[in-house]
Structure 1
Amino acid sequence: MTTALITGASGGIGKAFAEELAARQTNLVLVARSEEKLNQLAKELQEKYNIRVDVIVKDLTETNAASAVFDATKSLGLTIDLLINNAGFGDYGDFAERDGEKQVKIVQLNILALVDLTHKFLPPMRQRRAGSIINVASIAGFQPIPYLSVYAASKAFVLSFSQSLWAENRRYGVRVLVVCPGPTETDFFTEADFPQSFTGKTNKISTAEEVVKDALTALEKGNSTVVSGSFLSKMITNLSALVPRDALVNMLEKQFKA
């Protein structure tokens, strides 16, 4: 049986990945800050699917968090066949008026932790000439988004970084995929502190399960990128190529202003 390590596994897309992979008889390593939620999910999946589920409780914004996670898998005697870098969060509002520490933590989690974990687990995959990495970005990564500036920029990094790794690692038998969901039924909007007035401004909402199935299908096909969501979500990813930059950002500023 193969083993997948999932960050941000306690809810949302990460939990949906865990449930889908468990149903496919994949052993799991679940990583997040919430010990209670992880243990409950691990218990449910072990009992339902008779698989091995290990839990690593870790705040990935902490110094040397990726090393701690990597070392923990070694101590458990595990080989990670699929790494899913899903952990991430955003913050809505005027950058100059938002909490500065929170903006830094977005970068630490969405970018630094993802890069560090990828660099820990990718070399062993290349040595084995087998393995897969899924990085969760967003359609926000295809263009700047005022009032969601740090989050969108972090996802643009994940998109570019992942596509580069896809090209670098094909010859080693390692698949790399970046999945870019549109609006999805998770706690993202609540945790990002979106105002109530923003409700209804988003296009069709996808389920986390739909995102996961799109991602796993694209991974099996060897794709570098998959945009998951409605037709409008897919159209949005092409706006930056069709609309002059200043006009695009001005339009988005009006759309995202509360």
Structure 2
Amino acid sequence: MIDRYTGKTVLITGASSGIGECFSEELAAKGAHLILVARSSEKLNALAERLSGRYGIQAVAISLDLSVSGAAERLTKNMQDCGLQPDMLINNAGIGTMARFEEIDAARIEREVTLNIMTLTELTRYLLPNMLKRGSGLVINVASMTAFQPSPYMAVYGATKAYVLSFTEALWAENQNRGVQFLALCPGETQSSFHGSSGADSLNGKRMQPIEVVNAAFQAVEQQKNYRIAGRGNYWMGQLPRFFSRRSVLRIVERMLRSGLKHT
């Protein structure tokens, strides 16, 4: 597995914490060079310095808010100006909001859709041609368990992740035998800053460790899967729509997620 990543340059968004930080650590340990992107310049610079010092790889930190329109184009131009050309892309950055839909600020909804859908799509579009030209590459798009059914009280987030799953699987099918792999990674609740930033701290489900999610991704890449649900329990949750009506599944999910509301 190490040969797949050694000497490759990997762009990781949302790299300063949680799953993104874990991807950064594990890929650096495998000998990959890193382009780390997130809003927090202090945390990002510290991470880049630590990983380059520990593993002898090159780690470039780029502080950028990817939730604003045109961010993907600015990031791509920044990389071009610095002579950086990623061999692999991990679209990990994402935001969600736990609340009744009508209570969410419109600007927050726009940021959520921009980051989770537009930036992810545009970065993939900007970087894919060079991967195809080289005849090799890897794109991991981090979706979610919410991609498999609508998510009451996280309606926008769930819808964006359904897009990520559908988009990634379509590109997997388009690019078979062209040298570029696509994987939609679908974790459930994971230990990260997401719960605090999304207002979902009250959800009391068992949370996976980021390393479990990252290891599931590496295994799926080796198996050339088009998607991977991280965690056995999450896998069976993802199968509910196959055995129950959509209405029944929605009622189950609504009861589960209602517990995360601050005001019910």
Query: Could you say which residue in structure 2 is the equivalent of 1:255?
Result: 256
Name the structure 1 match of 2:77: 71
Aligned AA (2:197): E
* Aligned-partner Cα distance in 1 for 2:146–2:38: 23
Identity of aligned residues (%): 41
Amino acid at match of 2:223: K
Name the CA shift for 1:195/1:81 in 2 (closer, same or farther; >3 Å): closer
User: Which of residues 109, 116, 122 is equivalent to 1:110?
Assistant: 116
List structure 1 runs of 4+ shifted beyond 2 angstroms.
none
Would the alpha carbon gap of residues 195 and 184 (structure 1) be closer, same or farther in structure 2, given more than 3 Å must change? closer
| Paired residue type of 2:19 | I
1:148 aligns with 2:154: yes
Name the CA shift for 1:128/1:152 in 2 (closer, same or farther; >3 Å): same
Q: Is it true that 1:207 corresponds to 2:213 in the alignment?
A: no
Cα-to-partner distance string for 1:195-247 (whole Å, 9 max, x where unaligned):
53x3x3x1x32110111111012112211111102x22111111112111112
Please tell me the residue identity of whatever aligns with 1:251: I
Secondary structure in structure 1 of the residue aligned to 2:175: helix
Alpha-carbon distance in 1 for matches of 2:97, 2:181: 31
Gaps in structure 1 of 5+ consecutive residues: none
After alignment, is 149-158 or 204-213 more displaced? 204-213
For residues 44-93 of structure 1, give each alpha carbon's deviation from its aligned partner in whole angstroms, at most 9, with x where no partner exists.
00110111111111111222211111112222222211100000011001
Aligned AA for 1:210? E
**Residues 69 and 114 in structure 2, CA contact (< 8 A), matched pair in contact too:** no
Query: Which residue is 2:224 aligned to?
Result: 222
CA distance in 1, matches of 2:194, 2:167: 23
The Cα offsets for residues 175-203 of structure 1, whole Å up to 9 and x where unpaired, read as: 0001000111111111111253x3x3x1x
Partner of 1:16: 22
> AA paired with 2:200?
F
Secondary structure, aligned partner of 1:176:
strand
**What amino acid is the match of 1:239?**
L
Deviation at 1:145, TM superposition (A): 1.1
- Residue 149 of structure 1 and its aligned partner are, at CA, apart by 0.7
Over 3 Å counting, the alpha-carbon distance change for 1:38 and 1:146 in structure 2 is same
CA distance in 2: counterparts of 1:89 and 1:216, whole angstroms? 23
Q: Map 1:116-155 onto structure 2 (within 5 A).
A: 116-155=122-161
Structure 2: where are the runs of 5+ without partners?
A: 1-6, 260-264
